[in-house]
Structure 1
């Protein structure tokens, strides 16, 4: 059972595959490496990828210590995970974060931009709103869990620990002030893929829109039949989307060429790609303001650009057009909003899923 001491904490981790592209896998609430990513391990090309999955402190086999769910604990996870990868010898890697593991992944990518090649998230809650509070209250009713789910959890945790963890999570959610991303300390500079299940009953799909508003240059993929655990119920479909994204970002970064060129002597890594990826919250707000002020002149509103969604993903707050004409190419109305005007919006529709991403031409 591999464990490693990171800042005085004994962390359990597993490594799958022998590929040149390393992926840090971060589970969510009460999740462990095996139960969260076990089905993914079976579908991944292990000659191309090397997956490093951990049990966060207080979860699974990374006990003791017990989990402390309080302000800043997701940031602490991000810092410990980054130190874990450093100690294992991985200088550059991509990150896959599920649910709260995705929150920690966003924090990690913002705090350690030189280490993260790309980031993919699943079912991340940008806001802890009324629906999430209802979910949190249900989580505290351990004895009312579906029998199968409860039995799975009881294999890892006792009832008292489950009760404490779920109660602490509810208290944490009430204290966050509706902002789950307060510890994302800066812009995400690496390529970002946001994925979500259309039928997610825990973290509803509108949360993906909130993330896209925060990171408008991200790529979005919605799985039409996916729930909160779609990585387990649809592992092949999920892995196909996510690892195709990882593969494309790895090749475009130049690191695949680096590994191919190793011939027994050191070859310097190329610098990270310099093309802009994500914008900060402040820049997003500026663009939103500019677009709204020019909307009366016949230009598209902010919502119609950032949330182009003929399928109703964005919900009632979207004021933009809700039909396919919203997908036609457009331009930024004000040059000062962005150093390079974005002149094309690409949208692809595939198997009833929709993915949006902005591209500089």
Structure 2
């Protein structure tokens, strides 16, 4: 995987790709809030050499710092689109974990008909109908809570809240250790406010390509499981529960998730 950079007026976005891999399909790997491209290490190991891969450190995350936290979800989707154009990617499947799934939905909203497929991993629908007013209120007020939380306790809670496996928890702690307490609180707070704004915009966020919803059977992050049940019921999208997995199900049960990704992409 070769590291590359896409420059914006607010900062530089680092991403990794293997341009020499066989085509024509590209898996675009989009990690969740406060995570970086390493969240998909097990997927990169499994699929490298089979399909082209592209994974980024989202703006403000990992190597994509410093970055002014003044952007919205739609901006992230537009920057992703620019990166795909920069790399000459024409046929691709968006694979978004948690916040990465929201980025993918914003991408589908702004660039209809371009994605060949979408896989949501422990994410949730952006449609306004799924989220209560109280949940939106709380999303906008997370940053002070993170700032008041003792860092070592927050570090442990972040790891255990996201993953069930020893590997998944260790990886989450390792990614969190790249931030100071104040950096982490600012990034998380901005991410949740950005999400609330995108939901409150009440856009249709249509899924205009084949899609698959994956969710950890033991996901304890907010109301992710409830959201996925409602999402599948409303849209008819297939929902697969990942056994023995928490919110970062692709790190908790990578073999099962990789099998699901493989079967889905082959059908495309």
Distance 1:201 1:11 in 2: 30
1:151 to partner: Cα distance: 4.6
C-alpha distance 56-106 of structure 1, shift in aligned 2 (>3 A): same
1:9 to partner: Cα distance: 4.0
| Structure 2 SS opposite 1:190 | coil
Q: Which residue of 1 aligns with 2:46?
A: 43
| Structure 2 SS opposite 1:105 | helix
C-alpha distance 181-83 of structure 1, shift in aligned 2 (>3 A): farther
Q: Which residue of 1 aligns with 2:212?
A: 193
Q: What aligned pairs does 1:167-246 form with structure 2 within 5 A after superposition?
A: 167-169=189-191, 171=193, 176=197, 180=199, 182=201, 185-203=204-222, 204-214=224-234, 216-246=235-265
Deviates more, 1:3-12 or 1:47-56: 3-12
Q: Which residue of 2 aligns with 1:160?
A: 182
- Number of residue pairs matched by the alignment: 240
Please list the CA deviations of residues 69-88 of structure 1 after superposition, one character each: whole Å capped at 9, or x if unmatched: 6xxx1111111101110111
C-alpha distance 225-61 of structure 1, shift in aligned 2 (>3 A): same
Contact 2:122 2:249 in 1 (8 A): no
Distance 1:7 1:85 in 2: 18
Distance 2:110 2:246 in 1: 30
Please list the CA deviations of residues 155-182 of structure 1 after superposition, one character each: whole Å capped at 9, or x if unmatched: 3211111122233345556x54xx7384
1:98 to partner: Cα distance: 0.6
Q: Name the structure with the higher helix share.
A: 2
Q: Which residue of 2 aligns with 1:264?
A: none
Higher RCO (C-alpha under 8 Å, 6+ residues apart): 2
Q: Which residue of 1 aligns with 2:62?
A: 60
Structure 2: segments with no counterpart, 5+ residues: 160-171
Distance 2:150 2:68 in 1: 18
Q: Which residue of 2 aligns with 1:29?
A: 33
Please list the CA deviations of residues 70-120 of structure 1 after superposition, one character each: whole Å capped at 9, or x if unmatched: xxx111111110111011111221110010110110121232233210110
C-alpha distance 28-76 of structure 1, shift in aligned 2 (>3 A): same
| Structure 2 SS opposite 1:103 | helix
Contact 1:111 1:185 in 2 (8 A): no
1:210 to partner: Cα distance: 2.5
| Structure 2 SS opposite 1:2 | strand
1:83 aligns with 2:105: no
C-alpha distance 171-91 of structure 1, shift in aligned 2 (>3 A): closer
Contact 1:23 1:52 in 2 (8 A): yes
User: Structure 1: which 4+ aligned runs deviate by more than 6 Å?
Assistant: none
1:6 to partner: Cα distance: 4.7
The alignment's TM-score, normalised by the length of structure 2, stands at 0.78
Distance 1:109 1:47 in 2: 27
C-alpha distance 166-48 of structure 1, shift in aligned 2 (>3 A): closer
Distance 1:164 1:192 in 2: 32
Distance 2:78 2:10 in 1: 13
C-alpha distance 94-136 of structure 1, shift in aligned 2 (>3 A): same
1:145 to partner: Cα distance: 2.1
Which of the pair has more CA radius of gyration? 1
| Structure 1 SS opposite 2:84 | helix
Contact 1:6 1:84 in 2 (8 A): no
Q: Which residue of 1 aligns with 2:166?
A: none
Contact 2:244 2:252 in 1 (8 A): no
Structure 1: segments with no counterpart, 5+ residues: 250-361
Please list the CA deviations of residues 305-350 of structure 1 after superposition, one character each: whole Å capped at 9, or x if unmatched: xxxxxxxxxxxxxxxxxxxxxxxxxxxxxxxxxxxxxxxxxxxxxx
1:183 to partner: Cα distance: 6.6
